A and B are shown apart, each in its own frame.
Chain A
Amino acid sequence: MKEYKKYRKRLPLSLLEEVKEKTKDMPEARVNKILKEVHKEYRKAKVQAGESVGLVSAESLGEPGTQMTLNTFHFAGVAEMNVTVGLPRIIEILDGRKKIKTPMMEVYLKPPYNKGKDIKKLALSIKETLLKEVMSEISVDLANSSIEIILDKEKVKDIGATAGSIVKALEKQAKGTNVKKKEDTIIIKPKSKENHVAEAYKLKEKIKNIYIKGVKNIKQVLPVKRGNEFIIITSGSNLPEILEMKEVDTSRTVTNDIYEISRILGIEAARAVVINEVSKVIEAQGLNVDIRHIMLIADTMCFSGDLKGITRYGVVSEKASVLARASFETPIKHIINAALVGEVDELNSVVENVMLNQAVPVGTGLPGLVTKIK
């Protein structure tokens, strides 16, 4: 009998599966021998207790940082649609920023829609459209101090809207005005009795940016073929609204805005995205960093349940030791606060013990001696 079961608890699942797959057609005796050998090598390769994995991960990510490019943007197809890459992107991810420089989404679609039929139309319907993009003319009627808008019919049709729906959108958003439709023009008149021309001009600028259709914050859309299906890449991100669309495959659609992910999909999803995004950058730079290091950093950012950046306000502020916090940044603040609550530094981590000339409780500094020295 092939002894896969015996090793179920002794080997990591992924490794066991790999062995299973690769030894499918082999005779029993050889498989068992292989399993034994794999187990032996796995045990040899296991981490030792006390290993300072945190610092090793920091080194593994920090050292190649010096080799990364600073080229901020990389063009992803459409004009204006660029992605932050290289070191700036890594910094952005690890900072845990709430607003990232170039938010992007990859919208996967459910089967009937991902075949490429009408993909352009679908893409355009996602895109956030402002009034100024669908009108051909806007002017202020000085006599009535009202605003006249002439729509560009073709563009209106492109985004799948009608003049009626635009009027409705205007009515809803431009408060304190009367919106009327007269043939091809839409006339907007402020409700206030005094006819201030200046008011009208102000209103005109406001109205230009009124949101008509699509998903908010989606600035650009680009349908692309990925494998044998079509997906939509967007610049700008709005996960909750996109996920609500019936055409969208909710299980695969992602954004690169980690904060948004953590808000909408939870912390585990955010951790996965941190790992993916960091690996993506590192791979693009042609560097070789093991996934375990990225995982550990991602876990450090996420383990508290909230997304925390590697900054003095994030992860570092959570450190138990006063001296460790003080040695990072803003020492005075930390010492004062520690004094106010009568904090006790138990000297459990590295820097504090370096400061006091004591063995650090990591690696070989961890185990004590049974023999009494003096």
Chain B
Amino acid sequence: MAEEEKEKKETEEKQEEKTPEEEKKTEEASEEKKEKEEITFSTRDFIFKKVESLVFGVSSPQMIKKMASAKIVTPELYDKEGYPVDGGLMDIRMGVIDPGLRCKTCGSKLKECIGHFGYIELARPVVHINFVKVVMDVLRGTCKECGRVLIPKNKIEKYKKELDKVQGETGLEGRRDAIKSILSSLKTINKCPWCKSRQQKITLEKPTTFMENEKKISPVEVRSRLERIPDEDLEMFGLNPTSVRPEWMILTVMPIPPVTMRPSITLESGERSEDDLTHKLGDIVRINQRLFENINAGAPEIIIEDLWDLLQYHVTTFFNNSVAQLPPARHRSGQPLKTISERIKSKEGRIRHNLAGKRTNFSARTVISPDPMLKLNEVGVPRIVAMKLSIPETVTEWNMEYLKEFVKKGVSEYPGANYIVRPDGKKKRITEETQEQLLEEIQPGYIVERHLMDGDVALFNRQPSLHRMSMMCHRVRVLPYKTFRINPSVCHPYNADFDGDEMNLHIPQTEESRAEAETLMEIHTQLISPRYGLSVIGCIQDSISGNYLLTRGFSMTRDDAVSLLYNIGIDDMSRLPNKKEIDGKEIFSVILPEDFNFTGKSRGKDKEGKDDVIIRKGVLNQGVMDVNSLGEEKGLLLRSLHQRYGDKRTIDILGKIFMLGTKFLTNHGFTTSISDTDLPEKAELEVKAILDKAEDDVNNLINLFHQGKLETFPGRTMSETLELKILEILNKARNKTGDVVAEYLNKNTGSSIMSDSGSRGGPLNLAQMAACVGQQAMRGKRIEKGYLKRTLPHFKKGDLTSSSRGFIRDGFKYGLTPYEFFFGAITGRDSLMDTALRTPKSGYLYRRLANATQDEKVEYDQTVRDASRKIIQFKYGEDGVDVSKSENGIINVDRIIQNIK
């Protein structure tokens, strides 16, 4: 493993080496900064270099020695004074982890020195665990004497072509399998076709011992055999001789990772606690020394063998501590050591945790709460947060006085500033002592890190970030108290609610990032979902109810109308008709653009039985506003507004519609109560009759079933037929009660208005409250589980009646019987379980999808290609239409035809 890690570093270093001047510069700069409290990097210090490629390979022993800056000979770490021992594992030639010390190799201090590799000379070669399989394949496929591949000369070319083809199709693994099968098909010749020597069967005794004829082949022997293999034969095995020699997979020297990669921590007691890797390396060095001594002293073969095996064990567990056949090396406490493989692997490993995931400063997280008075693209930021987060502003001649004001206010007064950055990159905190001096010092070129203010750009995010609308750009609005405030309309794209949800806020620090955030991520750019091409942001809840009530036929005096409109930010009343009594539709029309035409359908039908919504020349002529026009994911009115007037205007209009709804509702008054679902006695009786009839029908069916006279459906057994029929009857009965409820319920109660406008709840919920909850179904069937042949002890065994199988006859308002309640709880728990099981499954699917398709992008020629520039689609989606610019996935020809006369 270490090889690859190193390789990675190396190439990176190579890249950096290309800019020696720059490096020197930064070094000099750091020299100057000796006594400065904090070192920061301002934009002008960035080195604009790009890594172009990374090369992977296996390091040769020579390479390991060459890149090492220290040879490690002793397992000791520190001397009596606590100073790192020369030639020990914490040798300061390999980097420093203690403040005050300087690296002997590069001369830089803690945090500046990135660390340097060391090496140890192994007394005897050992096998690298991660290459055992490859070594095995190569050993089996080559002659033990002459090292040639066991394929006759005349066939080599043919097989090579075959193998290259296999590798192209199935990759490296496929090639390895292929060469194995080729060799085994040739195995009849147990003689080397080149030198005619006899070959023996080689087996692998896991994890690292190679056997030939029941006899162990020592790594020394393995290595010498591998050395004999000529380069051209290596290609047969899919090894690239320019980057790999198989004998390098048997280690003779081992690289020691830099100290900076395995820092020790000092405990409170002053004791040092070493990193897992250091522990493991200590073991290796110790055993290695012992092995050296024993060999030199001419110790018996058995002792040397034992030590050698032990060395092999330690080296193996250093690379990978979860090898199946080996007991993992453990801490004294018994918990397994985390060695190199474990560091890289898995979600918490280096790759996914540290490399693909980044951490950031200038961010905040707190609970969110709603504020309908905010604009859609605003986020309310608590003042304490605003005083911690800052925005760097460069001082110029023209804004110097303006910025000085912030410095004057300082850290503890809003709006103040926290830091001042001098042109040389030195950062100073503004305190009472430094304030005066800094004020005088400020001149163009300085940077003031001022507090967050209204209108600043911020990114706002809620996890899980499942789609791009989970992170959008908002404008800051500094507010009192301690929660982030958002307009309830933008809850939907974030999938947020206010039952304790927390969200994250990030403040972009450079002009580039701010510009990008504004143009790519601001709310109005994200209005249309790329998933289905409709608005993800729309009116919700009260604003829908309000607009519904207003446009359904409410009228008010002109004074009231003017005051209402003024309240939502409209001061041009010229479009309001000049008459005493003004209709709600006319008030609503004031918000619409003057040349706007729209035809749509409303959710319910009005008194005349019409459901058309017609807007002509910016006037709502007919129909009511409800979810179908204003709601999120539907909002066809919003979609046509967006198409016609663009995103910014749409957001503006949407904000006003939202405000109109809520303001109107605030003035009008709105409530729901238990009496909303009161039914007249006549209706109650009808409901009862329907349910009684259904129960009778069910009982009749059950009787027929017991007599065996039930007509079965084709391909079904009789009991299945019964279940189906019962389910059908009960569902029909419930729907019928729903119809009764819909017919008799008072249309002017809060509950009805919410259901009719679509702001919350539907006819089903009303029916469940007023009349009958209905059948509780589990997995598409009636509830069957529970006790022997019955669901609950309340029933007789084998009872198939509706009530014993989870039909809830009563409505929520009337109240449920205990067993009905229990059935409800059963299905409730089932659905909870479902959600809990589904989340990780869909999460994994999402991860896989994202990983598989992340590099696919549209090229300039409109083709979709992946990173290796293979064409996936010749034209995106077959017509090249971006869903987020389409109307529900199509170009709306009908609308165009309608608009062109």
Contacts and interface: CB of A to CB of B under 8 A. Distances in A.
Interface of A: 12, 14-15, 18-19, 22-23, 30, 33-34, 37-38, 41-42, 44-66, 68-71, 73-75, 77-79, 81, 87-88, 90-91, 94, 220, 222, 288-293, 295-297, 299-300, 303, 310-311, 314-317, 319-324, 326-328, 331-332, 335-352, 354-358, 361-364, 366, 373-374
Contacts of B51: 347, 356, 358
Contacts of A348: 855, 867-869
A319 B243 CA distance: 21
A58 B854 contact: yes
B889 A292 contact: yes
B883 A70 contact: no
A291 to B, nearest CB: 7
B882 A48 contact: yes
A47 B882 contact: yes
Contact of A296 (B239, B853, B855): B853
B502 interface: no
Contacts of A337: 171-173
Nearest to A18: B893
B344 A332 contact: yes
B171 A292 contact: no
Given A18-B893, A345-B54, A293 B883 contact: yes
14 contacts: A22-B893, A34-B893, A50-B858, A52-B857, A78-B714, A79-B720, A91-B845, A220-B715, A288-B888, A290-B877, A339-B7, A339-B58, A361-B857, A366-B857
Interface in B631-654: 633, 643
Interface in B830-883: 834, 837-839, 841-843, 845-846, 848-860, 862, 864, 866-873, 876-883
A91 B837 CA distance: 14
B531 A37 contact: no
B891 interface: yes
B531 A293 contact: yes
B554 interface: no
A6 B358 CA distance: 52
B188 interface: no
A303 to B, nearest CB: 5
A220 to B, nearest CB: 8
B53 A344 contact: yes
Given A38-B891, A78-B716, A87-B838, A46 B851 contact: no
B849 A297 contact: yes
Contacts of A314: 852
Interface stretch (B33-41, B115-123, B349-357, B455-463): B349-357
Given A45-B882, A70-B837, A347-B51, 10 more contacts: A34-B897, A41-B891, A59-B530, A66-B838, A222-B714, A293-B883, A296-B872, A335-B344, A354-B358, A364-B516
Contact of A34 (B717, B834, B896): B896
B846 A58 contact: yes
B356 A354 contact: yes
Contact of B849 (A48, A50, A58, A342): A58
Given A45-B891, A59-B466, A349-B854, A303 B872 contact: yes
A40 to B, nearest CB: 9
A65 B355 contact: no
B878 A295 contact: yes
A303 B243 CA distance: 32
Contacts of B436: none
A249 to B, nearest CB: 23
A346 B52 CA distance: 6
Interface of B: 1, 3-4, 7, 12, 48, 50-58, 130-131, 134, 171-173, 238-240, 242-244, 320, 341, 344-345, 349, 351-352, 355-356, 358, 466-468, 516, 520, 530-534, 633, 643, 714-717, 720, 779-780, 834, 837-839, 841-843, 845-846, 848-860, 862, 864, 866-873, 876-883, 885-886, 888-889, 891-894, 896-897, 899-901
Contact of B841 (A57, A70, A73, A321): A70
Nearest to B884: A56
A351 B516 contact: no
Contact of A58 (B356, B716, B852, B871): B852
Nearest to A317: B171
Nearest to A63: B466
Contacts of B779: 71, 73
Contacts of A38: 891, 893, 896
A343 B56 contact: yes
Contacts of B244: 339-342
A94 B467 contact: no
Given A45-B885, A300-B872, A347-B51, A56 B530 contact: yes
Contacts of A354: 355-356, 358
B881 A292 contact: yes
B894 A50 contact: no
Pairs A-B, 9 closest by C-beta atoms = A342-B243, A54-B856, A62-B846, A292-B877, A54-B853, A349-B855, A65-B842, A349-B867, A12-B879
A1 to B, nearest CB: 18
Nearest to B876: A47
